[in-house]
Chains A and B, each alone.
Chain A
Amino acid sequence: MTDAYRIEGLHYKYGDNSVIDLAQYEFQQAMTHVLVGPNGSGKTTLFNVLSLLLKPLSGEIYLLGEKVIDENRLALRRRIGYVQQRPYLFNTSVFENIAIGMKLRGVSKHLRESRTNNIIEQLGLNSLKNKRAHELSGGEMQKIALARTLVLEPEILILDEPFTYLDKAFSLILETLLLNIREHKTQTVIISTHDHMRAHLLGDHVSSIINGKLIDESTINLIHGRYLSDKQVFDTGKLLITIGHANQETSIIAVEPNEIVLSLHELDSSMRNRFQGHVTGFVAYDDRIEVSIDAGEKFHAVISDHAMKELDLEIGSKIWVSFKSSAVKLVN
């Protein structure tokens, strides 16, 4: 299958600050990719580059198999639908706003009207249809921005924090729609969110974005601190984590959730990192369960249903978290 995006040596800077730094990365086609990361991690800049709004300072982007160059930029951009985090609605009616992308692509008036009416119906936006865009609230604007992008049925759909201003009812509509896209593999979707649970619910593939670098979903246990080279440990201020050799400047590590072992008693094993904590939450996915533990630092471990039953865990249960130094990845 062709990649929706293949990125090579992509860099973007604001002044001296590097906000995107991707040596090589692929977004597979017809998959839902979710990017999780804090504010200022480079999500929006990456989305602006992926939507071909911003040109990277260096590097190449291959979009749906085609190398992006000035000559094909507009044509490729029209295959992408991008909803920005703070969308701007044009100073016309809601209906005109939803139809504008089709108008710019030369879709006939008749087809524009019928597709606009369909999406309004599908998303339950009838009450807003005849309003002027600038009369809407922040949440309503977000809905219209989503509608005007979804109506284009783009091959690639990029949504930057789409749930931020949405009410619960519309969030559910959007989640259902995105799950439907994911199930039928009709479009490539790239979403950013702060919400880990939602990321796992919606995504085929979840990545964390830290300082412009994309880290695989497994590395959701991101921990900040400093490396003490003499002891070969990573000092988080609350825990000392044995990590083997690292760079003196290492400031973020990630612990593979699948490699965390949970036990009711301290294990007598070769795993040098053993911390006692308590269970703070659970999230169930198909046949596995993500357990959240507070052991000074917050850890997420992924265990099977069977292991869950054996441990008989509940919120507040005392638990031991153990992992090898090889389960630790150096992020930054």
Chain B
Amino acid sequence: MDYFTQAFLSAFKLILLFDTELYYVAWTSLKISLISVTLTAIICLPLGILFSLNRFRGKRSIQNILNTLMALPTVVVGLLLFGLLGRQGPMGELGLLYTQTAMIAGQCILIFPIILNLVIAGANTADPRIASTSIVMGANHYQKNIIFISEVRFAMLAAIVAAFGRAIGEVGVAMMLGGNIEGYTRTMTTAIALETSKGEFEFGLALGFLLLLVAYIVNILMERFNRLST
């Protein structure tokens, strides 16, 4: 049996035998990404709707900046926060560097423009008859906004899924702000990088499969949740 096949088999074995270390790393990744996405979504969903529904000066410029920030390199976010949270930095006294909190903050910054931009794009392309139909059906101002949010929920869910994908798969922020500490800040991506460099290809491969599986399950859950919500 060649090296590659052997590695695949060992990786599946680790997954099927519920290797504690493997699943703890996966859980850490999942937890940090879910918290990041939840916190960012709480801010960005209403902000994106407000942004889309209101006219103000500089709107187009802000949208251009958001578009640019969609491709924000993870290491740049890691670098900036490292500077802020490091011992020499202005927020160094907080002692947040190499903590899960620092990783969450970094991921929030990373996915903020993604969720905001995709929600704005979804709201901008919503059917213009939504508002008039709500009014005609007797909605007050508050009810009209709730209906609008409900009608663009697909765009919101797509934004959340895209952001989650970005957060769980990023390595720059996790590595620079988390420091890859075993049992604390080690995530799937940082572990893959470390284990592979150590020659533990099977462990890295098993984490890779789990990463894909998580992304797939999240998509399925989102779709099901969406169906239940209607």
Q: Which residues of B (72-118) have their CB < 8 Å from a CB of A?
A: none
Known A53-B132, A84-B132, A132-B230: A91·B151 in contact at CB below 8 Å = yes
Q: Which residues of B (108-150) have their CB < 8 Å from a CB of A?
A: 127, 129-130, 132-133, 135-140, 143, 147, 150
**A-side interface residues, number (CB < 8 Å):** 23
A92 at interface, CB cutoff 8 A: yes
Q: How many A-B residue pairs have CB under 8 A?
A: 49
A59 at interface, CB cutoff 8 A: no
Are the C-beta atoms of A88 and B130 separated by less than 8 Å? yes
Residues in A whose Cβ lies below 8 Å from that of B130: 88, 90
Are the C-beta atoms of B136 and A90 separated by less than 8 Å? no
Q: Which residues of A (75-116) have their CB < 8 Å from a CB of B?
A: 77-78, 82, 84, 86-88, 90-93, 96, 100-101, 104-105
Residues in A whose Cβ lies below 8 Å from that of B150: 90-92
Are the C-beta atoms of B136 and A86 separated by less than 8 Å? no
Known A93-B230, A104-B143, A132-B230: A86·B129 in contact at CB below 8 Å = yes
Are the C-beta atoms of A90 and B138 separated by less than 8 Å? no
Main SS class of interface, B: helix
Are the C-beta atoms of A87 and B133 separated by less than 8 Å? yes
Q: Which residues of A (40-72) have their CB < 8 Å from a CB of B?
A: 48, 51, 53
Known A93-B230, A132-B230: A77·B138 in contact at CB below 8 Å = yes
Cα–Cα distance between A88 and B128 once the two chains are bound (Å): 9
Residues in B whose Cβ lies below 8 Å from that of A77: 135-136, 138
A82 closest partner in B (C-beta): B136
Are the C-beta atoms of B127 and A88 separated by less than 8 Å? yes
| A101 in complex: contacting residue of B137, B140, B230, CB < 8 Å | B137
CB distance from A266 to the nearest CB of B (A): 54
**B-side interface residues, number (CB < 8 Å):** 17
Residues in B whose Cβ lies below 8 Å from that of A86: 129
CB distance from B147 to the nearest CB of A (A): 7
Q: Which residues of A (117-175) have their CB < 8 Å from a CB of B?
A: 132, 148, 152
Cα–Cα distance between A233 and B230 once the two chains are bound (Å): 64
Cα–Cα distance between A92 and B138 once the two chains are bound (Å): 18
Residues in A whose Cβ lies below 8 Å from that of B135: 53, 77
Are the C-beta atoms of A84 and B136 separated by less than 8 Å? yes
Are the C-beta atoms of B137 and A148 separated by less than 8 Å? yes
B146 closest partner in A (C-beta): A104
Are the C-beta atoms of B138 and A88 separated by less than 8 Å? no
| B136 in complex: contacting residue of A53, A92, A105, CB < 8 Å | A53
Are the C-beta atoms of A88 and B133 separated by less than 8 Å? yes
Cα–Cα distance between A184 and B62 once the two chains are bound (Å): 58
Cα–Cα distance between A298 and B155 once the two chains are bound (Å): 54
Are the C-beta atoms of A104 and B230 separated by less than 8 Å? no
| A105 in complex: contacting residue of B129, B133, B138, B151, CB < 8 Å | B138
Are the C-beta atoms of B230 and A88 separated by less than 8 Å? no
Are the C-beta atoms of B139 and A104 separated by less than 8 Å? yes
Cα–Cα distance between A91 and B151 once the two chains are bound (Å): 6
Are the C-beta atoms of B133 and A84 separated by less than 8 Å? yes
Residues in A whose Cβ lies below 8 Å from that of B143: 104
Residues in A whose Cβ lies below 8 Å from that of B132: 48, 53, 84, 88
A79 closest partner in B (C-beta): B138
Are the C-beta atoms of B151 and A90 separated by less than 8 Å? yes
A239 at interface, CB cutoff 8 A: no
A246 at interface, CB cutoff 8 A: no
Cα–Cα distance between A51 and B127 once the two chains are bound (Å): 20
A74 at interface, CB cutoff 8 A: yes
Are the C-beta atoms of B230 and A51 separated by less than 8 Å? no
Residues in B whose Cβ lies below 8 Å from that of A48: 132
Cα–Cα distance between A91 and B150 once the two chains are bound (Å): 8
CB distance from B122 to the nearest CB of A (A): 13
B151 closest partner in A (C-beta): A91
Proximity bits, B151-193, A CB within 8 Å = 1, else 0 = 1001000000000000000000000000000000000000000
CB distance from A115 to the nearest CB of B (A): 15
Residues in A whose Cβ lies below 8 Å from that of B154: 91
A96 closest partner in B (C-beta): B230
CB distance from B6 to the nearest CB of A (A): 49
Interface CB pairs A-B, < 8 A, 5: A53-B136, A84-B129, A88-B129, A92-B230, A105-B138
Binding site for A on B (CB under 8 A): 127, 129-130, 132-133, 135-140, 143, 147, 150-151, 154, 230
Closest 7 pairs (CB-CB, A-B): A88-B129, A78-B138, A88-B133, A101-B137, A104-B138, A82-B136, A92-B230
Known: A77-B138, A96-B230; 13 extra A-B contacts, CB below 8 A, are A53-B136, A74-B138, A84-B132, A84-B133, A87-B133, A88-B129, A90-B130, A90-B133, A91-B150, A91-B154, A104-B138, A132-B230, A148-B137
